[in-house]
């Protein structure tokens, strides 16, 4: 169960990172509200997962999922340029997350 919660928390990390970028330094109301709500959910999930998973592993997976999802979402929406090399590098992060799961 901790792994499922950790993956979902990583997705919420991507949501709060995206909302933070759209909040213009927390000056826009709705992106700021989304940021606060999603950061709380994300942190609660990470904390829950860390009850049973090692801290380093849990944090690395949380960050990896959040970072790769944030970049892929930005490329998909045109907020960041798409390049095959960038995609391959992000897939490398995803492969590392899967590898951590496999050796845990």
Residue 104 has pLDDT above 90, yes or no: no
The number of residues in the chain equals: 104
pLDDT of 36 reads 98
Burial class of residue 56 in the structure, from the number of CB atoms within 10 Å of its CB (0-12 exposed, 13-18 middle, 19+ buried) = exposed
The pTM score is 0.93
Specify whether the CB–CB gap between 89 and 72 falls below 8 A: no
Average pLDDT (86-102) is 95
Q: Is the pLDDT of residue 74 over 90?
A: yes
What own/partner pairs with CB < 8 Å and gap ≥ 24 does 15-18 have?
15/42, 16/42, 17/66, 17/70, 18/70, 18/73, 18/74
Which pLDDT tens digit goes with each residue over 43-52?
Answer: 999 999 999 9
Q: Which of 87, 88, 92 is CA-nearest to residue 76?
A: 87
């Amino acid at each position: 169960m901790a792994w499922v919660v950790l993956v979902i928390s990583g997705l919420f990390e991507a949501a709060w990172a995206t909302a933070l970028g759209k909040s213009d330094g927390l000056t826009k109301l709705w992106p700021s509200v989304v940021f606060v709500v999603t950061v709380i959910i994300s942190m609660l999930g990470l904390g829950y997962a860390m009850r049973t998973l090692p801290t380093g592993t849990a944090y690395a997976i949380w960050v990896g999922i959040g970072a790769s999802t944030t970049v892929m979402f930005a490329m998909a929406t045109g907020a960041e340029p798409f390049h095959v090399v960038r995609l391959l590098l992000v897939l490398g992060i995803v492969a590392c997350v899967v590898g951590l799961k496999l050796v845990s």
